[in-house]
Amino acid sequence: MRRVVVTGLGAVTPVGNDVQTSWSSIKAGKSGIDYIKKFDTSDLKVTVAAEVKDFDPTKYIEKRDLRKTDEFTIYAVAAAAQAVEDSGIEGKIDPDRFGVYIGSGIGGMQSFYANSIAMDHSGPRKVSPYFVPMMIANMASGTVAIRFKAQGPCLPIVTACATGTHSIGEAFHAIKYGSADAIIAGGAEAAVTPLSIAGFSSCKALSTKNDPKTVCTPFDQRRDGFVMGEGAGILILEEYEHAKARGAKIYAEICGYGNSCDAYHITAPQPDAEGPSRAIKIAMSEAEIKENDKVYINAHGTSTPANDKTETLAIKKAFGEDRAKELLISSTKSMTGHMLGAAGGVEAVFSVLALDEGILPPTINYEQPDPECDLNYIPNKAVEQQVDFTMSTSLGFGGHNACIVFKKA
């Protein structure tokens, strides 16, 4: 049973194109949600999203390769490059013991949409020869592995909105049980397209307020749906003795992981919250969280009516009603929107930094408490407080539940 630590962080988000900028925005309660700039929204019910802004892909991908690389892979490569540089691990690990676990909930939706239109308008000859490798969801993991000569275990986990958290959790266990010495782990997504917006709107998942300042209100009584986001969040997970031997900076230790399924409905969470509660309990048990330990939870907190109510109940069932009210909880999706498969990766980055700095991010736009969501969601302003553990939870379509736990190394 080997210890596993975090030695590098990388992020491309709607509130910043690197970790430092993103984290500074989150601590300040700055939102990345705005009117959609990528395409005309006049025919759509939803006109807002949390887009990545002013991002220069040529910092990470050769210009000649951009036309054959989907945006979700570009974001993954960018965040992975930041994390690898931050960790200093490149060239200091056996390639056979270096892995990549980067998932995407949807994969190359930009490429799928663009090539579908090209074929419909101009026929099959206009479909890119790179269409399939741009579209498939494993290409972020594959491209990052090629980039950093990571020849160990390489997996693209796909569990919808729980993808990033499952990727990090499975990577943690792979190192813990000896399959690798370090893994580049997280999630990436770039699904802000007319087709995605129309699809999520049709299934009543997105907010239709269309006011960037009030559209995303996790745990608030006014919530009516999530806001789509995009980007990538990546952690370098490394076996503790390996990291120590090379003098690596250690942000935190990852010490718990829970994985469960509702087995209930393809989109709706199980009303009794048994599934997510079980994932939290499993992670708590592995992390050995004690009764008096101080815990911060970066909640899934999508701002949908069912999710936030169910997640609140899950936390109560996992910790007990009285202790749940003592927890510090927030949804950073109030600022980043819901980054789908990338959400868990980015929220893990924020959870690690919250532990490292003793600053717990807020849930912005919180004004009208909901009697069914009655915990401490750190309303509107960050809190300076040291905690013993930080936890990140994720729930995905299909009933997938994930929870990871960090502590100071």
* Bridging pattern class, strands 48-49 and 231-239: unpaired
List the one residue out of 255, 291, 288 whose CA is nearest residue 403. Answer: 255
Q: Residue 161 catalytic?
A: yes
Catalytic annotation, pick one of 161, 216, 255, 373: 161
3-state helix, strand, coil in the chain (%, to 5): 40, 20, 40
End-to-end, the C-alpha distance of the chain in Å comes to 16
Residues 223, 206: Cα–Cα separation, whole Å:
10
Phi, psi of 273, deg, nearest 5? 60, 20
For residues 319, 321, 322 and 328, what is the CA-based torsion angle, rounded to 10 degrees?
60
Q: Which two tokens stand for residue 214?
A: 């009030």
Q: Which two tokens stand for residue 228?
A: 């789509």
Q: Residue 265 catalytic?
A: no
Q: Which two tokens stand for residue 306?
A: 């069912």
Residues 18, 12: Cα–Cα separation, whole Å:
5
Catalytic annotation, pick one of 166, 216, 255, 300: 300
Residue 89: CB partners within 8 Å, gap ≥ 6? 7, 8, 98, 182, 236, 238, 246, 248
Taking CA atoms, 16 is separated from 66, 193, 228, 346, 358, in Å, by 21, 20, 16, 11, 21
Q: Three-class SS of residue 48?
A: strand
Catalytic annotation, pick one of 154, 166, 242, 338: 338
Residues 132, 139: Cα–Cα separation, whole Å:
10
Cα 100-105-111 angle, rounded to 5 deg: 95
Q: Residue 121 catalytic?
A: no
* DSSP letter string, 84-140: HHHHT-TTSS-GGGEEEEEE-SS--HHHHHHHHHHHHHH-GGGS-TTHHHHHSTTHH
- Residues carrying an active site annotation: 161, 300, 338
